[in-house]
Chain A
């Protein structure tokens, strides 16, 4: 089965450090989402891309977060500087949207702990 690959699976970092999370979407998928999951807030949409172009990043704290798709096989989410409140599981999901909408495939997530 095709998979969305996220790296690293776990990351522990000190406050103030830069964190980069990576996602390899399924080949041929043209839509990529980044979500953050916490117990309090649930699944929050941070940003999403269609055909590598950013469509919406209104859910992302702009001062410290950035999301990019340098090519069709890689999406990145960067936090600089990181803060303890950024501790969460970050999911990437990809899917194919043309005339029809289909379900999305999630990666296994990156569990980030900022101490």
Chain B
């Protein structure tokens, strides 16, 4: 079945260090969405990637979609304590079907 694998499961960084989480699939992805969930909160939509090789930026966050549309990454430059939370990738299968989430990467930032 559909499955997106996300690594790493946990990442602990010092404030100011960079952070990257990766999302991989054995099959071609229709698109990828990224969400952030703060501790005790709910997932919040960050961005959607649709095109092969697409790169989008939101301030210190850079999102990439692989050329083969089988992987995606989220990179945070110079992490801050406000970046703490779990970052999820999710595939919206077949352009509007099921939204299947990866297992998430939990980011902790040491001040």
Contacts and interface: CB of A to CB of B under 8 A. Distances in A.
Interface stretch (B40-48, B52-60, B71-79): B40-48
A91 B98 contact: no
Contact count band on B: 20 to 34
A33 B42 contact: no
Contact count band on A: 20 to 34
B92 A101 contact: yes
A65 interface: no
Majority DSSP secondary structure for residues of B touching A: strand
Nearest to A43: B101
Contacts of A108: 41-42
Interface of A: 31, 33, 35, 42-43, 45, 48, 50, 55-56, 91, 93, 97, 101-109
Interface of B: 31, 33, 35, 41-48, 88, 92, 95-104
7 contacts: A43-B88, A43-B101, A56-B98, A101-B92, A103-B35, A103-B45, A106-B43
